[in-house]
């Protein structure tokens, strides 16, 4: 499975640290923060237990509260749609809480490094259940007030709210533990929908095999395939224009790999690591995988030279 191969490469990539790690935490904080702020601020909430419905920061009727929640969900959808319209499935790789859960589960699934501080090992192990709890509670608060969690006068309400919350946490933690990126590949209704409704044709991961300096016939790429091994959704980042076969579930076959790419940047991290390790020996530090708006085609191969015998010098 792709996850098994990924977990063999991931420790080296993660151990070096990267600018993307901080950016992922930031974008995920915005996502989870938004899910908490909307109901807690009173912008939109339906309270099935206490009747404390909210719309635009004021008390509201059930109908008004429900309308506010529906409008809030529609607004969140619009934001993610616009992001994906411009950048493909970039929200999946950076802002989606389920994708972030899968990433935490990857880290938790790594063999513990005994050289690492104990608190870091505890943090990594606690990451998936903690994130599952935050996501579940943030979603529950759209449908009930925080007071329900401590409503001692109503055992029935307590049983319902805590039962649903614990069930949600268990379901999410199980998804991260056993299904993980397979959910994104074959089952995510939002991500797979975006793959075909808003597959950006000008932004994403692109590949430049040759160095930009010189005659354009020297390899910048090491051809180490680290980018392929670390891809969470089992794609070839060096050729995302290639059509891929059916992947099972509700995924659709024969679409370009670019449509399915999460734009998460893991392949960039792996590529930068490998180029950095080989730069002194090769005298080349250009990174062949890029992230951003395409400069020409998604894939550019280097110019092939012909030797005196007529054979191609390179493959």
Best CA proximity match to 233, nearest among 5, 14, 31, 25: 5
Q: Report the distance separating Cα 37 and Cα 142, nearest Å.
A: 10
Residue 149 CA, distance from chain mean position:
31
Predicted pLDDT at 305: 58
Q: Residue 99 contacts by C-beta under 8 Å, 6 or more apart in sequence?
A: 92, 93, 184, 262, 264
Q: Pull the structure tokens for residue 236.
A: 């070839």
Specify which residues 205 forms β-bridges with.
Answer: 291
For CA atoms 88, 92, 96, 100, give the dihedral sign: negative
Residue by residue, pLDDT tens for the chain (315 residues) are 456 789 888 888 888 889 999 999 999 999 999 999 999 999 999 999 999 999 999 999 999 999 999 999 999 999 999 998 899 999 999 999 999 999 999 999 888 777 788 888 899 999 999 999 999 999 999 999 999 999 989 999 999 999 999 999 999 999 999 999 999 999 999 888 888 887 788 899 999 998 887 666 789 999 999 999 999 999 999 999 999 888 888 887 788 999 999 999 999 999 999 999 999 999 899 999 999 998 888 998 887 654 333 433 333
Q: How many CB atoms lie within 10 A of CB 169?
A: 20
Best CA proximity match to 231, nearest among 1, 2, 8: 2
Predicted pLDDT at 248: 86
């Amino acid at each position: 499975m792709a996850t098994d191969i990924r977990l063999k490469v991931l420790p080296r990539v993660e151990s070096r640290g990267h600018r993307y790690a901080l950016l992922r935490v930031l974008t995920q904080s915005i996502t989870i923060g938004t899910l908490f702020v909307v109901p807690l601020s009173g912008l939109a909430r339906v309270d099935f237990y206490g009747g404390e419905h909210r719309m635009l920061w004021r008390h509201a009727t059930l109908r008004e509260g429900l309308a506010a929640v529906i409008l809030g969900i529609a607004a969140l959808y619009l934001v993610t749609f616009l992001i994906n319209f411009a950048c493909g499935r970039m929200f999946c790789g950076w802002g989606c809480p389920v994708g972030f859960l899968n990433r935490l589960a990857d880290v938790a699934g790594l063999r513990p490094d005994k050289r690492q501080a104990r608190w870091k090992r505890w943090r990594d192990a606690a990451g998936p259940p903690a994130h599952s709890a935050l996501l579940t509670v943030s979603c529950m608060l759209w449908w009930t007030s925080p007071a329900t969690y401590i409503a001692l006068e109503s055992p029935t309400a307590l049983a319902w709210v805590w039962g649903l919350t614990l069930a949600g946490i268990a379901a999410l933690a199980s998804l991260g533990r056993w299904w993980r990126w397979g959910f994104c590949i074959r089952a995510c209704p939002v991500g797979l929908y975006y793959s075909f409704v808003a597959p950006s044709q000008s932004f994403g991961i692109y590949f430049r095999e040759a160095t930009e300096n010189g005659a354009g016939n020297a390899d910048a790429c090491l051809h180490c395939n680290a980018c392929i091994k670390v891809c969470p959704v089992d794609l070839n980042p060096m050729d995302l224009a290639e059509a891929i076969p059916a992947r099972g579930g509700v995924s659709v076959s024969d679409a370009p790999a670019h449509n399915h790419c999460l734009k998460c940047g893991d392949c960039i991290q792996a590529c930068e690591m490998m180029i950095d390790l080989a730069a002194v020996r090769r005298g080349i530090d250009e990174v062949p995988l890029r992230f951003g708006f395409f400069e020409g085609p998604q894939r550019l191969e280097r110019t092939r030279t012909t030797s005196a015998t007529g054979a191609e010098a390179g493959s």
